[in-house]
Amino acid sequence: MKIRRETKIGIVVVMAAALIYFGLNFLKGINIFNTPTIYYGVYEKVNGLQTSNPVILNGYKIGQVKSIEMSKTQRGRLTVEMLIYEDVDIPKDSKAVLRSADLLGSMQVQIQLGRSIELAQTGDTLTPDIEADLVDEVNAQIAPIKRKAEGLISSVDSVIRVIEAILNTDSQQNLIESFTGINNAIASLQRTAFQVDTLVREERQRISAIFVNVQNLTEVLSKNGDQLDNIIKNFSQISDTLAKANIAQTIVNANAALADVSKVVEKINSGEGSLGMLINNPEMYNRLEAASKNLDLLTEDIRINPNRYVHFSVFGRKNKNVELSEAELKELKEYVNSQEGE
């Protein structure tokens, strides 16, 4: 049987078309002999993600992006359709993260497996996430450097202004005077140090004696530590006793007693009472003194002439109107004068 030429051409065209289709899908990474699993991700932006970009799991390509379309249910968002050709169990809480694939800006979808027991099924939407691209990371790294550079430039500008101020004639003169003052201060410190050194050399023996005395004092305190403890305890007990004593009431009572004494003294000074009259009335004092003299005279007369005042008579005879002799009067006056002289 002879095949017509047109049939041969048709067979060749079909085979070529099949080869082209297979080749294109192969170049795209699509295996037309396997049924892929389809997952979706909804993003606010895709950062340059394109169809046929790879879907990666742990650095291994398991699929590719089939299409990117505007979401019909979420306004302003993009729906990314992913084809997974490998037989991989993906938990339902896994994430589909958009990230940079290389320094040239190519994007890929990285699957981060979750911990859910329930597995995602074909047609499910994975949790979307976007990793900062290279430009954002570079900007994030450069921003602190930029702020530091701006601060450094401001500092350099300030330093330049200070240098300009220093180069001024008046500022130079002030600097010269400042350095002169610093030199004088250093010279004064050197003189002071020399004087201190000289004083230490001259008073070395006294300083040594002072340290020896201090050492002896510390030894004495160390040896008599128990006695010092007893003294401190005694002071503590005394302070406790004073604290417990009703000192305030005692002071109040003393104040009251002093007030009463003050009142008595005021009455005495004002002439109230016998003691006040005795102190403030000279006439009463003179009378008391005269009465005392007369009492002395009477006492002495009784001692010298007891018969005048006490009579003893066996026969009932009594001496009446006994008069003093001149010698007795003289003796009595001499005794009184001697008593007054004393």
Q: Higher-confidence residue: 6 or 45? A: 45
Per-residue confidence at 258, pLDDT binned at 50, 70, 90? confident
| 97-124 residue pLDDT tens | 988 877 777 888 989 898 888 998 888 8
Query: Which stretch of 192-206, 245-259, 320-334 has the lowest confidence by average pLDDT?
Result: 320-334
Distance CA 16, CA 286 (A): 170
Cα torsion 78, 81, 87, 91: sign? positive
Q: Higher-confidence residue: 225 or 310? A: 225
Query: Which stretch of 75-89, 97-111, 267-281 has the lowest confidence by average pLDDT?
Result: 267-281
pLDDT at 45 (0 to 100): 86
| Contact in structure between 128 and 154 (CB atoms under 8 Å) | no
Instruction: Among 133, 159, 175, give the residue marking a domain's end.
Output: 133
| Contact in structure between 32 and 22 (CB atoms under 8 Å) | yes
On whether residue 213 sits in a domain, the answer given is no
Distance CA 230, CA 139 (A): 77
| Contact in structure between 41 and 125 (CB atoms under 8 Å) | yes
Closest CA to 64 of 84, 93, 44: 84
Q: Are both 19 and 102 inside the same structural domain?
A: no
Helices (H), the chain: 5-28, 134-166, 169-202, 204-223, 225-244, 247-269, 273-280, 282-304, 326-341
On whether residue 262 sits in a domain, the answer given is no
**Number of domain units in the chain:** 3
On whether residue 193 sits in a domain, the answer given is no
Task: Write out 267-303 in H/E/C secondary structure.
Answer: HHHCCCHHHHHHHHCHHHHHHHHHHHHHHHHHHHHHH
Q: Are both 62 and 18 inside the same structural domain?
A: no
Q: Are both 86 and 2 inside the same structural domain?
A: no
Closest CA to 65 of 120, 121, 9, 106: 106
Q: What is the CB neighbour count within 10 angstroms for residue 113?
A: 14
On whether residue 148 sits in a domain, the answer given is no
Q: Are both 287 and 297 inside the same structural domain?
A: yes
Q: To 10 degrees, the CA torsion angle through 327, 330, 331, 335?
A: 170
On whether residue 91 sits in a domain, the answer given is yes
Q: Are both 8 and 49 inside the same structural domain?
A: no
On whether residue 291 sits in a domain, the answer given is yes
pLDDT at 51 (0 to 100): 86
Q: Are both 91 and 8 inside the same structural domain?
A: no
Which stretch of DSSP H or E encloses residue 95?
strand 95-100
Distance of CA 158 to the CA centre of its chain: 36
Q: Are both 43 and 29 inside the same structural domain?
A: no
On whether residue 203 sits in a domain, the answer given is no
Domain residue limits at 19: 1-33
| 127-186 residue pLDDT tens | 888 876 555 666 667 778 878 888 888 888 888 877 776 666 666 777 778 888 898 889
Helices 273-280 and 282-304, axial angle in degrees (round to 10): 90
Per-residue confidence at 314, pLDDT binned at 50, 70, 90? very low
pLDDT at 99 (0 to 100): 86
Closest CA to 97 of 124, 69, 58, 145: 58
Name the CA radius of gyration of the chain, rounded: 66
Instruction: Among 103, 133, 163, give the residue marking a domain's end.
Output: 133
- Mean pLDDT score of the chain: 77
Name, in order, each residue with C-beta under 8 angstroms of 335's C-beta and a sequence gap of 6 or more. Answer: 300
pTM above 0.85, yes or no: no
On whether residue 108 sits in a domain, the answer given is yes
| pLDDT above 70 for 271 | no
For the chain, give the percent of residues with pLDDT over 90. 2
Instruction: Among 92, 112, 133, give the residue marking a domain's end.
Output: 133
SS3 115: coil
Distance CA 98, CA 129 (A): 6
Task: Write out 137-191 in H/E/C secondary structure.
Answer: HHHHHHHHHHHHHHHHHHHHHHHHHHHHHHCCHHHHHHHHHHHHHHHHHHHHHHH
